[in-house]
Amino acid sequence: MPIGIVLTEWDSTMGTIIRKSFPKSIHLSKDEVNKVLMSHSISKTKQPEIIDLRFQQKIIISFCPKDKIVQLGYSMLIVIFHEDEQSEIAPFKEKLYKQGIHLFSLNYSQRNEYFKQIAYDIFSNKLSRKLLILGTSGVGKTSIKKIFFESATSDEILNKPMEPTYGLVHYKIDYFDLDLGIADLAGQEIEHYLYDSFDSEIDPFDACDLVVYVFDPPYWETNSHDIINHLKKIQFKLNHVSSSSEKPHLFILCHKIDLVNPERLGEFKDNIVKSLNFNENLLFFTSIKPNFISSLFKAMQIILSNISERANQIRNAINGELTKKEKIGVIVIQNNKILLEISTSDLPVFSVNIIIPMIKSIYNFIKQYIKKPECFNLQVNKFNAYCSELDEFGQEHILLFSPEKSKDELESLSEKLKVKVKLLQDIN
């Protein structure tokens, strides 16, 4: 893993200067920078290039957009490794080349923000994980994915019929420290893949870290026996087929719980718990309807916290600061997407259908600034709200809202949380 990253710019009077670096502890002397510059300058190519050099216990990889020297001078994106990390160099170069091409295609202010993103990608230690969502047709698997991972509103889903999923569909999602692959298995295919001796080159259960099985109340009422058999076959697959080093986690969602008569909801839940004989902490009752949607967010956050160390860290930090006497909610956002939502139990319902458009407005507001504001106050539907950068890379934002807390109190709480979940030192 790299130990530092540096962005240099060309100054007509001073030559190459270090504009940005991460972390603060990383150091490149002027002599080292000049040696990198000299290596690029003696190269005959006029195209973008990557070179690697050895200086004292360091391996330095440098990208230089030599096709833009007239406009940018000898600007460079430099990544530093310890000398023992030789095996990491080759696979890293291709990614750095692509990042360098994009970085130097941006204007001056945009390069600053993209540099932060590159640093975040390197130092947030993203892990590749796989989530499989399966269940019979029409139980809401794809709508769950769109609501939670793509920040669609329930109104958008409910008012626009969704196309059914066919076959095995894969998606890639960033979730805190996870490079999360999501496999959405079509309901028509579930019986085929659950047979003990199915004939297929692709096994959707292979290398899974999480499996979420989804069913809805109407299917339970008519086919509870099939659901129980599905779960038995899934557990068999996870015990014998998966190549993961650890046994994958299995969770169950009884989705569209709004379809159950409220007067018999408690009886309905008890019946499922007894019939499935499944750990109640791994079984959730959810819906995307506005009055129930918080149940879906809570369920998915608990599920993903099993494989996301950072989600767990932030969740514990927030829960440690909130008290039952306060009416307050906290949302963690990344690129317009809600990653985490936690609120005290007596907080009045603050609909996600309001939050999502508000978040999009916040990001549109931020984009208007050449230098993005790190924090700002809001007033929304009689709630005081405070939004600020959560991580030192500017990739994650935290939004606190309350009908009682003042803006100053929300700001103070935000600062406490930022200290607890800090990733690394600030970027220079």
Residue with tokens 């956002």: 333
Q: Which residue has the higher pLDDT, 224 or 12?
A: 224
Q: What is the spatial distance between Cα 5 and Cα 22, in angstroms, rounded to a whole number?
A: 5
Q: What is the spatial distance between Cα 348 and Cα 327, in angstroms, rounded to a whole number?
A: 8
Cβ atoms of 423 and 398 closer than 8 Å: no
Closest by CA to 187, choosing from 288, 255, 264, is 255
Q: Return the amino acid letter for 8.
A: T
Which pLDDT value is given to residue 343? 80
pLDDT tens digits along 280-326: 889 999 998 877 888 888 899 899 988 998 888 888 888 888 877 77
pTM value is: 0.76
**Residues 5-40 as b or e (16 or more Cβ within 10 Å = b):** bbbbbbeeeeebebbbbbbeebebeeebbeebbebb
Which pLDDT value is given to residue 327? 83
Which pLDDT value is given to residue 65? 95
Structure-derived torsion over alpha carbons of residues 415, 419, 420, 426, reported in degrees to the nearest 10: 130
- Indicate the pLDDT class of residue 221, thresholds 50, 70 and 90: very high
Q: Which residue has the higher pLDDT, 43 or 13?
A: 43
Alpha helices (runs of H) in 306-392, residue ranges in sequence order: 309-321, 352-367
- Indicate the pLDDT class of residue 161, thresholds 50, 70 and 90: low
Note if the bond before 23 is cis, omega within 30 degrees: yes
Which pLDDT value is given to residue 289? 87
For residue 134, the Cα-to-chain-centroid distance in whole angstroms is 21
- Mean pLDDT score of the chain: 83
Give counts: helices (H), strands (E), the chain: 13, 16
- Indicate the pLDDT class of residue 359, thresholds 50, 70 and 90: low
Structure tokens that stand for 178 in this block? 């996870």
Percent of the chain with pLDDT over 90: 28
Q: Which residue has the higher pLDDT, 151 or 327?
A: 327
SS3 145: helix
pLDDT tens digits along 414-424: 988 888 887 65
Which pLDDT value is given to residue 363? 62
Q: How distant, in Å, are the alpha carbons of 139, 244, 304 from that of 251?
A: 15, 17, 11
Q: What is the spatial distance between Cα 21 and Cα 79, in angstroms, rounded to a whole number?
A: 10
Neighbours of 233 (CB within 10 A): 16
Q: How distant, in Å, are the alpha carbons of 146, 152, 208, 366, 412 from that of 339?
A: 13, 13, 21, 19, 22
- Indicate the pLDDT class of residue 347, thresholds 50, 70 and 90: low
- Indicate the pLDDT class of residue 368, thresholds 50, 70 and 90: low
CA-only gyration radius of the chain, Å: 25
Backbone angles phi, psi at 244, to 5 degrees: -65, 150
Determine which of 145-159, 169-183, 187-201, 220-234 has the lowest per-residue pLDDT on average: 187-201
348 contact partners, CB below 8 Å, separation of at least 6: 327, 403
Beta strands, E only, 4-150: 4-11, 15-22, 49-55, 58-64, 76-82, 127-135
pLDDT tens digits along 115-127: 988 888 888 777 8
Q: Return the amino acid letter for 250.
A: L
